[in-house]
Amino acid sequence: MQGEQTEVLVEGQRARVLTAGRGDDVVVLHGWGGRIESMAPTISCLAQAFRVTALDLPGFGESPVPETAWGTPEYAAFVAGAVGKLGIDRARFVGHSYGAKTSLYLAATRPELVERLVAVGSSGLRRAPSFGTRVKRGVSRTGRALGRLGAPGRSARDAIYRRIASSDYLEAGALRPILVKVVNEDLSDLLPRIQAPTLLVWGTKDDAVPVAHARRMESLIADSGLVLFEGAGHFAYLDEPERFCAIVRHFFGRPLS
C-alpha cells in the first residue's frame, strides 16, 4: 500500500494520516481495534480513481489515546476537523464497524461534508439484552461489590471479569472507558437525518453486528441500500476484496473498466 504518511493536529489531538491517489476525495475509516493498514485493500483499490485519505483514529494505530473518554460525537468532530485541515470540503466516505458508525454520525450531523457513504458491518444500534447478558450484568455488579472489599475482593472481582468480559473489553487497555461509552450509544434517532446516498455492506455470517441491524439501518436511512455478502463475516470487505472494490467503485461513480 503506497501513499504519503503525515499527521494532523485537531485541538491538541494528533492522528496519523495516509493519502494516496488523485481525484475526488474519499475518506476511509477503520473499525474498532484497527488502523490504516486494516483497510489496505480498499485504499489501494480506490486510490486508482480517487484521492484517498485514511486516518488512524485517536487511540488506534499510531494515533495517541484521547485524554478524556470520547464518544462517537467527539470522534466525528475530530474527523470533521481533520478533513477540514487537510483541505477536504466534501467527500465520499467508506467506514468499517466503528469507523462506519462514526461516518454515519457525521453524515447525520454534518451533511455538508458527506457526499456518499459506504458502511460495512456498522455498529450503532443497541441490542435488546439477552438472558445471558442480563446474567452477566448481575455478576458484574457482584464483581464491583467485591472490588470494594480490599485485595482479596479485587482478586475475586478480576477473576469474574475475565470470565464474562468480551475480548474487546479485555484488550481495550487505555481505551476501555471509551469502549464502554460507545457501545451504549444508539444512533436510531439520528439515522433518519442522513441525506447522503448510503450503501450498507454486510456479511451474512457477521457475528459482531447481526444482519438484523443492517436491515434496521436500511429502514431508517431514506436513500440507502443493502448488499449482503453470503458467507462473509464481520470483515466482509476483506473476505471478498475484489467484489467489494467493484461495488464501491460503481456506487461512487468510477466503475472498474
State the CATH number of the domain containing residue 112: 3.40.50.1820
Q: What is the DSSP letter of 66?
A: P
**Which grid coordinates belong to 227?**
448488499
- Same-domain pairing of 69 and 120: yes
Do 29 and 114 sit in the same domain of this protein?
Answer: yes
Q: What percent of the chain has pLDDT over 70?
A: 82
Instruction: Indicate whether 105 belongs to any domain.
Output: yes
Query: Does the pLDDT at position 95 exceed 50?
Result: yes
* Co-location of 78 and 159 in the same domain: no
Least confident of 50-59, 122-131, 134-143, 217-226: 134-143
**Residue range of the domain that includes 21:** 4-126+185-251
Query: Is residue 122 located within the same domain as residue 135?
Result: no
Question: Are 90 and 51 found together in one domain?
Answer: yes
User: Residue 191: its pLDDT value, please?
Assistant: 98
Quick one: 22 and 85 in the same domain? yes
Instruction: Note the pTM of the prediction, 2 decimals.
Output: 0.85
Residue 120 counted as domain residue: yes
Same domain, 26 and 122: yes
Give the tens place of pLDDT for each residue, 174-228. 889 999 899 999 999 999 999 999 999 999 999 999 999 999 999 999 999 999 9
Q: Is it the case that residue 19 has pLDDT exceeding 90?
A: yes
Verify that 144 and 236 share a domain, yes or no: no
Given a cut of 80, is residue 40 above it in pLDDT? yes
202, 174 contact by CB (below 8 A) = no
Is-contact 208 238, C-beta < 8 A? no
Residue 256 lies in a domain: no
Q: What's the domain count of the chain? A: 2
Residue 57 placed within a domain:
yes
Q: Measure the CA–CA gap between 151 and 34, rounded to whole angstroms.
A: 35
Query: In which region does residue 17 sit, left (phi positive, over 0), alpha (psi from -120 to 50) or beta (all else)?
Result: beta
pLDDT at position 68 is 94
**Residue appearing with cell numbers 474487546:** 168
Distance separating alpha carbons of residues 236 and 44, to the nearest angstrom: 16
Distance CA 38, CA 49 (A): 20
What is residue 3's DSSP assignment? -
Claim to verify: residue 107 and residue 162 sit in the same structural domain? no
The answer to whether residue 142 is domain-embedded is yes
Task: Yes or no: say if 179 and 197 are a contact pair by the CB < 8 Å rule.
Answer: no
Domain boundary among 117, 151, 174: 174
Contact 174, 65 (CB under 8 A): yes
Q: Is residue 180 part of a domain?
A: no
**Per-residue pLDDT, 153:** 52
Mean pLDDT of all residues in the chain?
88
Span 133-178, pLDDT tens digits: 433 334 344 444 545 555 555 565 455 444 434 556 556 678 899 9
Residues 151 and 69 both lie in one domain: no
Please indicate, yes or no, whether residues 170 and 193 belong to a single structural domain of this protein: no
Cα 14 from Cα 198, distance rounded (Å): 29
